[in-house]
Structure 1
């Protein structure tokens, strides 16, 4: 039994994941701004790690579209791309419709109450201008029926797509004067679920995402 070697492997895996998630978070939240150059040596010094996990993380982030690289020249944070939002939003609302269709028969009153609580927290965060809390509450709202679908592959797909959307939504948050209407759209989903109206709930989910995209596009003009 080679416990020390096994422990070292676990530590290396932990470091790689920590570096990846840290850099991803810095990009999504804007700490690393669009177009900012990323130097593996500098990032390694900041995070107190070797350059290897930095390079591995940057490759993963490039695969996700959050980083751009020109071989032997530079690596930089990818710009905010509104066309990407136009491509991603329809996929998200289609997958969420699938999630709710799967979860509908097992959605309980307690689950609806969780959605109401998340929407209440979203309203409070919007009123306070708290970007991160608002996005977390919004995610909590949608996660109720996504998790009820009990489909790991569906969950993974949506999680990966929403990382990109979170970055876009944070970027435009301050300019979106009517972002609070999303709470009213959530209320429509909740009311449809209370009435056991699957079609109404599905249409309300799609409408919520379509309207979110329209609000972002309006601010980008």
Structure 2
């Protein structure tokens, strides 16, 4: 078929995704605090977009557990909630467990090097008290197995549940408990390097279930 000459649909998708990402990141990093009211007019002024992509983004954030909508009244940033966090942990743990089980047989020495490097950066960031850098390094560490696993649907699921957990991780990675994650990562790399897919999968699951409660 001929290539369409109009690019309206991709542009709309990009706009909607950008609004979602901006709101998601502001919630995760605490710029928009738990319980804060989200007003369409204020978001319009902030992001310079119309109400339609804002409402679409808010619906998506509600499905991810980051906002709560009270029809006819208000939409607010979701408070920390242990039950919701635990549900997200269960999904994330299962996805990372599956990714690890699929990835280990396909791992190369370079994959293992990437994981060790990411964990070294993770440990250094925690020692420096740089929570943002620690989160980025943690993402790089786990992403090695997710990408090597080769199942794009795992990434799609994780994109939905991970932002909710990022708020909890910000608390954990700013505390002494974060050092436990460094040790857990080391054990994951050792198991992966040894080619033990089942042990790697179990350790990944335990790592994601160890975040603790929403109150840190």
- Give the superposition deviation at 1:9: 4.3
Asked whether 1:208 is paired with 2:207, we answer yes
Please give the root-mean-square deviation of Cα atoms over the aligned residues, in Å: 2.0
Question: 2:19 and 2:124 mapped to 1: Cα distance?
Answer: 32
Spell out, residue by residue over 1:56-90, the C-alpha distance to the aligned partner (whole angstroms, 9 max, x if none): 21122112221111111111111111212222223
Higher helix share: 1
Question: 1:51 and 1:91 mapped to 2: Cα distance?
Answer: 32
Question: 1:126 and 1:90 mapped to 2: Cα distance?
Answer: 25
Query: For structure 1, which runs of at least 5 residues remain unmatched after alignment?
Result: none
- Give the superposition deviation at 1:155: 1.7
Question: 1:157 and 1:11 mapped to 2: Cα distance?
Answer: 24
CA 1:16–1:220: 2 relative to 1, 3 Å: closer
- 2:31 is paired with a residue of what secondary structure? coil
CA 1:15–1:159: 2 relative to 1, 3 Å: closer
Equivalent residues, number: 214
Moved more, 110-119 or 126-135: 126-135
Q: Which residue of 1 aligns with 2:157?
A: 157
Spell out, residue by residue over 1:171-208, the C-alpha distance to the aligned partner (whole angstroms, 9 max, x if none): 4543x222122111111111122222233323322332
- Give the superposition deviation at 1:146: 1.0
Q: Which residue of 1 aligns with 2:40?
A: 40
Question: 1:46 and 1:220 mapped to 2: Cα distance?
Answer: 30
| Contact 2:191-2:200 within 8 A present in 1 as well | yes
TM-score norm. by structure 2 comes to: 0.90
TM-score norm. by structure 1 comes to: 0.88
Asked whether 1:135 is paired with 2:135, we answer yes
CA 1:72–1:123: 2 relative to 1, 3 Å: same
Q: Which residue of 2 aligns with 1:220?
A: 215
Asked whether 1:196 is paired with 2:191, we answer no
CA 1:115–1:172: 2 relative to 1, 3 Å: closer
Moved more, 80-89 or 194-203: 194-203
- 1:137 is paired with a residue of what secondary structure? helix
Question: 1:177 and 1:31 mapped to 2: Cα distance?
Answer: 24
Higher relative CO (Cα under 8 Å, sequence separation at least 6) belongs to 2
Q: Which residue of 2 aligns with 1:117?
A: 117
- Give the superposition deviation at 1:91: 2.6
Query: For structure 2, which runs of at least 5 residues remain unmatched after alignment?
Result: none
Moved more, 40-49 or 88-97: 88-97
